[in-house]
């Protein structure tokens, strides 16, 4: 994930706001770069952990709280959906109230929602708490990076801070399945959520060493935000429930609502003077290719993690910890290639790295489609590596390409758009993969992975055709 609309990053800009703060009787708070960075990294770690770690815990949640496969999909998608739906305007909130205040609000709300998840008595309560978690996470992501930008005024120091923030997310992706499996096996699935509470308190304490953030005039695009939420929620509902109920009853209504809300969103954004999503950006190939490729990569990755987590535990009978350990080779390769990708882009340009990443992910998805309950563990774990490695290669290149393709003043909107589409792709991937499983686990898993491989190949061909060599 990346920031949307980061706050001012110069000491002079913060100093210009000092008289205004003193006039309101607010004492100046000294800046502690280490404390600010620790708070930002810790927050990004826990919100990333709550994707991969919770996925491993889904079978245990189902055994404890009951509910269908569709209900378990909502436990995963309720969180991802809200992150995607609110990401476009979360940066505006951060600008309006100040990054420090927005981040503290988001982190406090995330901790309370995590406590509600850990104490949930029913599956419906858990889904509702996950939605609240996702809303808080959407605010935390841009605010955390805005804090880093505000605190580290030197570009080199800022780059190192952002790199550590990114590493925090990569470590969470690697640690999530292991911690989720360990807690579920040794204690309870509720511990996966309760871990966030002390982490949130530690982050709030670290924020005491962070200076107040300046506020900037920012108008919230409420009509655009509401239509975006309705469109994404209705579309996800139609995909999840359509796979389990068939396209009868409320499913066609949800699909129609998604289409109508999507059209309304486009109409609203086209008419606003300051839309949260400037539609003119889509005229640039450097924007449309990252949006399509990023969505496809996330759909394949998160859909794959979802179905494989169920496969290891429900079909192979592995424990939660054993299932989590299956993801470690993939996660380690992903973390390493996140560092390598920018160097390859600097040497070869974005296009070949993007194409290579997409094709690598397609190879992984196609290879996993051949796996069944009798496949040995180590070959299965090895086949998972290309699925994660493809995204690790392509996503830094896609992000760099997108930010280079828009004017500087549109960088926040571009980053928000890319992250929104990626999260939407992840949510729809989980929904679609789960829908395929409704017709039988083995054929559904094979079909979903083969379709993912085909979409990744199509995205690679699109990138190869539309993007310039350098």
- The domain limits of the chain are 30-204, 222-273, 277-470
Whether residue 13 is predicted with pLDDT greater than 50 in this model: the reply is no
Q: What's the whole-number mean pLDDT along residues 242-271? A: 79
Whether residue 11 is predicted with pLDDT greater than 70 in this model: the reply is no
Q: Identify the pLDDT of residue 165.
A: 75
Q: Identify the pLDDT of residue 358.
A: 93
Token pair recorded at residue 15: 């100093």
349: left (phi over 0), alpha (psi -120 to 50) or beta: left
Closest to 373 measured CA to CA, from 305, 282, 312, 287:
312
Say how many C-beta atoms besides its own lie within 10 A of residue 106's C-beta.
26
Contact 110, 196 (CB under 8 A): yes
Q: Identify the pLDDT of residue 7.
A: 42
Closest to 87 measured CA to CA, from 219, 290, 228, 227:
228
Contact 417, 408 (CB under 8 A): no
| DSSP secondary structure letters along 406-426 | S-GGGHHHHHHHHHHHHHHHH
Report how far residue 310's alpha carbon sits from residue 317's, in angstroms, rounded to the nearest whole number.
10
Q: Which of 193-202, 305-314, 406-415 has the lowest mean pLDDT?
A: 406-415
Q: What's the whole-number mean pLDDT along residues 276-280? A: 73
**What's the pLDDT band for 366 if we cut at 50, 70, 90?**
very high
Contact 253, 431 (CB under 8 A): no
Whether residue 27 is predicted with pLDDT greater than 70 in this model: the reply is no
Count of residues making up the chain? 470
| DSSP secondary structure letters along 333-387 | HHHHHHHHHHHHHHHH-HHHHHHHHHHHHHHHHHHHTT--TTS-HHHHHHHHHHH
Report how far residue 442's alpha carbon sits from residue 456's, in angstroms, rounded to the nearest whole number.
21
Q: Which of 59-68, 88-97, 174-183, 192-201 has the highest mean pLDDT?
A: 192-201
**What's the pLDDT band for 408 if we cut at 50, 70, 90?**
low
* High-pLDDT (> 90) share of the chain, %: 10
Topology at the third CATH level for domain 30-204: Growth Hormone; Chain: A; (1.20.1250)
Whether residue 88 is predicted with pLDDT greater than 50 in this model: the reply is yes
Contact 88, 417 (CB under 8 A): yes
Which pTM does this prediction carry? 0.76
Fold match flag (30-204 vs 277-470): yes
Is residue 122 classed as helix, strand or coil in its secondary structure? Answer: coil
Task: Looking at 272-284, list the stretches that DSSP marks H as alpha helix, in order from N- to C-terminal side.
Answer: none
Whether residue 1 is predicted with pLDDT greater than 50 in this model: the reply is no
Q: How many CA atoms lie within 13 A of 163 on its CB side?
A: 11
Q: Which of 145-149, 209-213, 305-309 has the highest mean pLDDT?
A: 305-309
Q: How many CA atoms lie within 13 A of 241 on its CB side?
A: 15
Is residue 241 classed as helix, strand or coil in its secondary structure? Answer: helix
Task: Looking at 152-275, list the stretches that DSSP marks H as alpha helix, in order from N- to C-terminal side.
Answer: 155-186, 190-194, 196-206, 222-245, 250-271
**What's the pLDDT band for 359 if we cut at 50, 70, 90?**
very high
Report how far residue 367's alpha carbon sits from residue 389's, in angstroms, rounded to the nearest whole number.
14
Q: What's the whole-number mean pLDDT along residues 345-349? A: 80
Alpha-carbon 449 to chain mean position = 20
User: Hunting for tokens 């999507």 — which residue is that?
Assistant: 262
**What's the pLDDT band for 216 if we cut at 50, 70, 90?**
low
User: Which residues are within 8 A (CB) of 254 and not within 5 positions of it... i.e. 6 or more apart?
Assistant: 234, 235, 237, 238, 241
User: Which residues are within 8 A (CB) of 185 and not within 5 positions of it... i.e. 6 or more apart?
Assistant: 319, 320, 321
pLDDT in tens, 115-152: 999 888 988 899 899 999 988 888 887 777 777 777 77
**What's the pLDDT band for 17 if we cut at 50, 70, 90?**
very low
CA distances from 349 to 345, 386, 395, 463 (A): 4, 21, 13, 13
Q: Identify the pLDDT of residue 25.
A: 38
Report how far residue 109's alpha carbon sits from residue 438's, in angstroms, rounded to the nearest whole number.
35
Closest to 320 measured CA to CA, from 136, 143, 192:
192
Q: Which of 63-67, 220-224, 227-231, 435-439 has the highest mean pLDDT?
A: 227-231
| Averaged confidence pLDDT in the chain | 78
User: Which residues are within 8 A (CB) of 178 and not within 5 positions of it... i.e. 6 or more apart?
Assistant: 321, 324, 325, 327, 328
Token pair recorded at residue 267: 């109409």
Q: Which of 105-109, 236-240, 324-328 has the highest mean pLDDT?
A: 105-109
Q: What's the whole-number mean pLDDT along residues 340-350? A: 79
**What's the pLDDT band for 4 if we cut at 50, 70, 90?**
very low
In CATH, the architecture of 277-470 is Up-down Bundle (1.20)
Q: Identify the pLDDT of residue 91.
A: 67
Is residue 68 classed as helix, strand or coil in its secondary structure? Answer: coil
Whether residue 19 is predicted with pLDDT greater than 80 in this model: the reply is no
Q: What's the whole-number mean pLDDT along residues 37-57? A: 81
Report how far residue 285's alpha carbon sits from residue 405's, in angstroms, rounded to the nearest whole number.
8
* High-pLDDT (> 70) share of the chain, %: 82
Q: What's the whole-number mean pLDDT along residues 6-28? A: 40
Q: How many CA atoms lie within 13 A of 220 on its CB side?
A: 12
The alpha carbons of the chain give a radius of gyration, in whole angstroms, of: 21
User: Hunting for tokens 């109508």 — which residue is that?
Assistant: 260
310: left (phi over 0), alpha (psi -120 to 50) or beta: alpha
């Amino acid at each position: 994930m990346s920031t949307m609309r980061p706050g001012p990053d110069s000491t002079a800009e913060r100093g210009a706001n000092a008289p205004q703060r003193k006039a309101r009787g607010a004492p100046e708070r000294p800046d502690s770069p280490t404390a600010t960075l620790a708070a930002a990294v810790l927050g990004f770690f826990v919100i990333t952990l709550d994707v991969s770690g919770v996925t491993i815990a889904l079978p245990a949640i189902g055994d404890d709280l009951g509910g269908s496969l569709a209900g378990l999909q909502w436990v995963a998608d309720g969180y991802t959906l809200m992150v995607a739906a609110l990401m476009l305007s979360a940066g505006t909130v951060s600008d309006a109230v100040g990054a420090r205040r927005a981040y503290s609000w988001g982190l406090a709300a995330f901790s309370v929602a995590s406590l509600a998840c850990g104490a949930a008595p029913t599956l419906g309560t858990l889904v509702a708490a996950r939605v609240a978690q996702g809303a808080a996470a959407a605010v935390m992501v841009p605010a955390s990076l805005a804090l880093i930008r505000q605190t580290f005024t030197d570009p080199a120091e800022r780059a190192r801070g952002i790199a550590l923030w990114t590493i925090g997310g990569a470590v969470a992706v690697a640690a999530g399945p292991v911690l989720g499996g360990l807690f579920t096996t040794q204690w309870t699935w509720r511990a996966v959520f309760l871990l966030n509470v002390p982490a949130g308190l530690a982050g709030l304490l670290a924020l005491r060493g962070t200076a107040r953030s300046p506020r900037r005039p920012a108008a919230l695009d409420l009509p655009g935000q509401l239509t975006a939420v309705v469109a994404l929620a209705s579309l996800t509902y139609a995909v999840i429930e359509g796979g389990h109920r068939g396209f009868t009853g409320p499913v066609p209504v949800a699909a129609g609502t998604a289409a109508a809300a999507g059209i309304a969103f486009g109409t609203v954004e086209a008419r606003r003077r300051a839309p949260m999503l400037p539609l003119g950006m889509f005229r640039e190939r450097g924007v449309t290719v990252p949006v399509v490729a990023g969505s496809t990569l996330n759909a394949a990755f998160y859909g794959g993690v979802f179905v494989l987590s169920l496969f290891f535990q429900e079909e192979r009978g592995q424990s939660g910890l054993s299932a989590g350990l299956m993801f470690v080779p993939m996660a380690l390769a992903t973390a390493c290639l996140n560092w390598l990708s920018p160097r390859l882009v600097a040497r070869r340009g974005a296009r070949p790295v993007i194409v290579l990443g997409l094709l690598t992910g397609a190879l992984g998805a196609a290879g996993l489609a051949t796996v069944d309950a009798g496949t040995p563990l180590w070959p299965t774990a090895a086949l998972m590596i290309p699925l994660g490695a493809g995204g690790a290669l392509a996503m830094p290149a896609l992000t760099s390409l997108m930010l280079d393709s828009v004017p500087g003043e549109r960088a926040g909107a571009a980053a928000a758009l890319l992250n929104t589409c990626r999260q939407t792709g992840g949510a729809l991937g989980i929904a679609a993969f789960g829908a395929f499983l409704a017709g039988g686990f083995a054929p559904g898993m094979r079909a979903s992975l083969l379709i993912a491989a085909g979409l990744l190949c199509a995205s690679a061909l699109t990138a190869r055709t539309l993007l310039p060599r350098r």
